[in-house]
Chains A and B, each alone.
Chain A
């Protein structure tokens, strides 16, 4: 957690795990492109089994120990990408089982949206302290001497920890002069900020639906690519093909995602080439969120509410609802940018369909909620959109575009980067009340969000504006993104600068009646 003034804040620039997981990322994206191709070319879904051979050709294994398992796993990925549930090895039907139910042009998938592909999960050990063969069986054996549970014994080939006795305090690890002792957790569980990953009867990961807030972090972190979300690209493409008027709304983090030479304007043009009627920035809705949150903060804090939490990240909101229901009322009542933007389109085009394109898995869950599902018909990620571009052989960077995009203000576009929401709201508050002092704090990553809320509940954040983002770096670090966060951050900043509106209040795309007074 930190003050949200990100200009003065230097983050250690490390590459997040995600970008180096090339093979897993590529498999995931190839599946999206494949499903998009099936949908565009009207291929027979019953023949889905053939695609496992197309995607994993030959007889030599490349990703896993054997080619049969590679194909079996990719088959489950194909099913998830169609909106079906992944199956276990116990199910005997063909991979196309149940496929007729998803061969439609409307939303069909149901929770759980994030699930473990059981046949891909390697059942990694849960949190363990373990002595490796780097142990020299030294005479000093500090590992044994510092163990508060007397769990370390020196055996023939070196020190051994009795796992029954070990309490994972890590003291032996810190003492070993040979760095022979490691402490590790299964990556999925370690990445989960709400402790939602349990084990099933075979020791494989299992997601506790009561705790999960669909942030998608475990999808990015699993080194075996064993966790995936469901997709609805197939149904979206069918909706476009069956003649619906489909509008796209695209999250502020989109800038720079679709190739290093592709401008935001070219991305919009590329989306229109997919058969989509028009594209609107979700930054427009973000401007409304800013206006509403600023008004709410001025009116409510600290007289009626001790503090206020931002409302745009659905995983953050859901975490507060589930874990801290007693302070749930202090999360802003403003709608999310996605909902405002969709409303903006649907009020003039009531028969149209709206697809939200974003970096986010939890928006897929948000769009299933009452009062949201009527506005948002489909949700896809940037990766899934990229799959559609590839399937249709669209090269956005080669499209000639003249028009500039002018849907959102500078600060609305800034929502994409951690700290951006709080910055926007504070800037707006200062436009109304220049002398008001607003203290802010931003949490990135669900674990930090949980920590911040815990302190807020104890009254330690009173008077503050609290920004919660379930993903590190904010939306640009989301599980559905394509480029590294540092690259995206720069593109988002450049695009924000190009906005004609310095303040959300200047945004003349928004109906004056909708703006709060």
Chain B
């Protein structure tokens, strides 16, 4: 899974660092536990302004998960996407 977190001015102001912190925290905690799909990888990339805020007002923070753009992204939303994927082999059974 590839996550790009925009750290442009708007997104930083509206909490991009908090999203980065949450993802790092997941990597150190739940994702180290047994039960995570062995095929699952999490690659977090910090990127410069992706330009979404220039197209439309009030969309920050912006996070791109496997090429899907999340506007007004929240930590809880992104974390749950990650965990759903990390444990998908259990859920689908």
Contacts and interface: CB of A to CB of B under 8 A. Distances in A.
Task: Give me the 9 closest cross-chain CB pairs, A-B, nearest first.
Answer: A259-B12, A259-B7, A483-B17, A260-B7, A389-B9, A260-B46, A386-B13, A29-B13, A390-B9
Interface string A8-37: 000000010001101001100100010000
A19 B21 contact: yes
Contacts of A395: 8-9, 48-49
Interface string B15-48: 1111011000100000000000000000000111
Given A397-B7, A398-B49, 14 more contacts: A25-B15, A258-B9, A258-B12, A259-B9, A259-B12, A260-B20, A260-B46, A387-B13, A390-B9, A393-B9, A394-B9, A397-B49, A483-B17, A487-B20
Contacts of B5: 260
A390 B20 CA distance: 20
B9 A19 contact: no
B90 to A, nearest CB: 28
Taking residues whose C-beta sits less than 8 angstroms from the other chain, chain B's interface range is 20 to 34
Contacts of A387: 13
A398 B50 CA distance: 12
Interface string A469-492: 000000000000011100100000
Nearest to A391: B9
A202 to B, nearest CB: 33
Contacts of A337: none
Given A259-B9, A386-B9, A394-B9, A484 B14 contact: no
Most buried by B among A25, A390, A396: A390
Interface of A: 15, 19-20, 22, 25-26, 29, 33, 258-262, 383, 386-387, 389-390, 393-398, 482-484, 487
Contact of A397 (B14, B48, B75): B48
Interface of B: 5, 7-10, 12-18, 20-21, 25, 46-49, 74-75
A260 B21 contact: no
A22 B20 CA distance: 13
Which of A15, A261, A398 neighbours the largest number of chain B CB atoms within 10 Å of its CB? A261
B15 A22 contact: yes
Contact of A261 (B7, B21, B25, B75): B7
19 contacts: A20-B18, A22-B18, A22-B74, A26-B14, A29-B13, A29-B14, A259-B8, A259-B12, A260-B5, A260-B7, A262-B7, A386-B9, A390-B13, A394-B9, A395-B8, A397-B7, A397-B48, A398-B49, A484-B17
Contacts of A20: 18
Contacts of B16: 259-260
A22 B78 CA distance: 14
Contacts of A26: 13-15
Contact of A484 (B21, B46, B75): B21
A261 B17 contact: no
A398 B48 contact: yes
Interface residues of chain A: helix, strand, loop or mixed (majority): helix
Contact of A487 (B10, B17, B47): B17
Contact of B13 (A19, A33, A262, A484): A33
A397 B18 CA distance: 18
Nearest to B19: A22
B8 A397 contact: yes
A482 B12 contact: yes
B1 to A, nearest CB: 19
Contacts of A261: 7, 46-48
Contacts of B17: 260, 482-484, 487
Nearest to A33: B13
A484 B24 CA distance: 12
Contacts of A260: 5, 7, 12, 16-17, 20, 46
A482 B74 CA distance: 16
A258 B46 CA distance: 13
B75 A22 contact: yes
Nearest to B21: A484
A396 B9 contact: yes
A381 to B, nearest CB: 12
Nearest to A270: B9
Contacts of A396: 9
A460 B14 CA distance: 46
A78 to B, nearest CB: 17
A484 B8 CA distance: 17
Nearest to B15: A22
A218 B76 CA distance: 25
A343 B20 CA distance: 39
A484 B23 CA distance: 14
A15 B21 contact: yes
Contacts of B21: 15, 19, 484, 487
A261 B18 CA distance: 15
